[in-house]
A and B are shown apart, each in its own frame.
Chain A
Amino acid sequence: EIVLTQSPGTLSLSPGERATLSCRASQSISDYLAWYQQKSGRAPRLLIYDGSSRATGIPARFSGSGSGTDFTLTISSLEPEDFAVYYCQQRSNWPITFGQGTRLEIK
């Protein structure tokens, strides 16, 4: 099973600041990685797939990068609605696995 480790666990920033979230895989997964945003009490929303492709309707301030084992989700300038929990997910091997999440909170 591929383990995804996200860091930091919690990130405290202010609106307008840049957010950088990390996801590290226990073995190479090429670019078979997605990022999701989840707000309290809601279902997750797909943001990024294949490492760097934005899903339909996702604002350009969200970008993804990386390949192999190290991946990054960047939010260029935080909006108030961006404060949420973010998960990475790999599709390289079965079972599909998720990272444990990064909570992005308002400072």
Chain B
Amino acid sequence: EVQLLESGGGLVQPGGSLRLSCATSGFTFSSSAMSWVRQAPGKGLEWVSAFSGIGEITHYADSVQGRSAISRDISTNTLYLQMSSLRVEDTAVYYCAMRGSGKWYFDYWGQGTLVTVSS
């Protein structure tokens, strides 16, 4: 069974940094494509970043480009999102999501972790 479990969210001041983690199990992490999707309170879904399994190609939304870095640790089957220079508008629930086939749709999702950027 595929499991995705996010952690690392919390309250951070504007300009601060945070690293989100997504612990995974139930599939071959090293060859899987993963992504982060966020949802601001009461708002819709916003794709944030993607990491292709093979080739390790990364993609970022313009809203986080230059402030975020997606990475993974194959030894622990964990996906990360390092976020810096955080802004109030980065406040959201951050979901880890997995591409289930060879196409960029999200078949599996974690439960999300809340990041609140506030002074």
Interface, chain A (partner B; CB < 8 A): 1, 32, 34, 36, 38, 43-46, 49-50, 55-56, 87, 89, 91, 94-101
Asked if B26 is an interface residue, CB under 8 A from chain A, the answer is: no
Asked if B1 is an interface residue, CB under 8 A from chain A, the answer is: no
Query: Once the chains are docked, how many angstroms separate the CA of A57 from the CA of B59?
Result: 30
Query: Once the chains are docked, how many angstroms separate the CA of A96 from the CA of B62?
Result: 11
Query: Judging by beta carbons under 8 Å apart, are B47 and A44 in contact?
Result: no
Distance from B110 Cβ to chain A, minimum over Cβ atoms (Å)? 7
Query: Judging by beta carbons under 8 Å apart, are A46 and B95 in contact?
Result: no
Asked if B105 is an interface residue, CB under 8 A from chain A, the answer is: yes
Query: Judging by beta carbons under 8 Å apart, are A34 and B105 in contact?
Result: yes
Distance from B92 Cβ to chain A, minimum over Cβ atoms (Å)? 13
Which residues of the other chain, A, contact B47 by a CB distance below 8 angstroms? Answer: 89, 95-98
Of all A-B residue pairs in the complex, the 6 with the closest CB atoms, nearest first, are A43-B109, A91-B104, A96-B47, A98-B45, A34-B105, A49-B105
